[in-house]
Amino acid sequence: MDSNRLYAVSSKLSDYVRSPSLRHIRDPHNIQKLAREIVESLDRASSIWQKWDGSREQLAKLAAPCWIPVEDLTAFLNRLPGPMLTATDVDQRLGAFWEEPWEKYPDENLKAGCLALYEAEKAQGTELPAIVGAIQEYIEAEEERLRREREVAYRQFKEEERVRREQRYLSGADSSWTQLQGSEDFFCRRNGRAYRIARSKDHKWNLHRTEIPDNSDVLVGTYLGRREATKALEKIAYEPEPRW
């Protein structure tokens, strides 16, 4: 049996039963508190990171994505209870946090802003845990701003692509499916022939031959999806057409 784990549990139980009050010992709240402390002790006893107790671990994990200078973080952590930490201890522990599931590396795009905020708060005398909280809020706001900017850029890119395909279609060149301005239908050109596809009320897709001189659009076929229609079109577009 692991002696460190055994000692961690026995020491907690020994401290707990020292209470002369049976009411205190039997109190459900106190029992839950003891159980939580035992679990935390076992986690620390079985961890390969022996210098890290709950408070150090918690602060370092919060600071991991915040670009806090390692030297300053080390100095603050060494003021908390526990063995002396080196900069290497802290740097490697942060790296281990980044490798954990659902965690992520600090965003290089936010480094300058995080460091600027850190230095500004440090100059005002703000303590490190509060600075970490402020930087976390800054990161959340910046990530949301960047997300919105990417969405705008993506929509702009998609619209530019649509306009490019539309212009290609209208010029008479072969083109892939695209929605023309003001239309819900999709249009394409294959082998110099124009086609239109529209979704029906039963959620199927009707493929039409369009731009027929002196004639209205002609239904070519009905398909479950655009993919099936596109696949069929690769053959239809090169077959002889009737005299419209």
DSSP state, 234? H
Helix segments in 17-127, DSSP class H? 22-26, 28-46, 54-63, 70-77, 87-99, 111-123
Cβ 48 vs Cβ 96: under 8 Å:
no
Q: Is pLDDT of 1 > 50?
A: no
Mean pLDDT of 47-71: 90
Mean pLDDT of 161-166: 93
- 91-100 confidence digits (pLDDT tens): 999 999 998 8
pTM above 0.75, yes or no: no
Residue of higher predicted confidence among 63 and 16:
63
Residue of higher predicted confidence among 24 and 170:
170
In the sheet that holds 175-179, the strands lie side by side as 175-179, 186-190, 193-199, 205-210, 218-223
The per-residue pLDDT for 41 is: 60
Q: For the chain, what is the mean pLDDT? A: 87
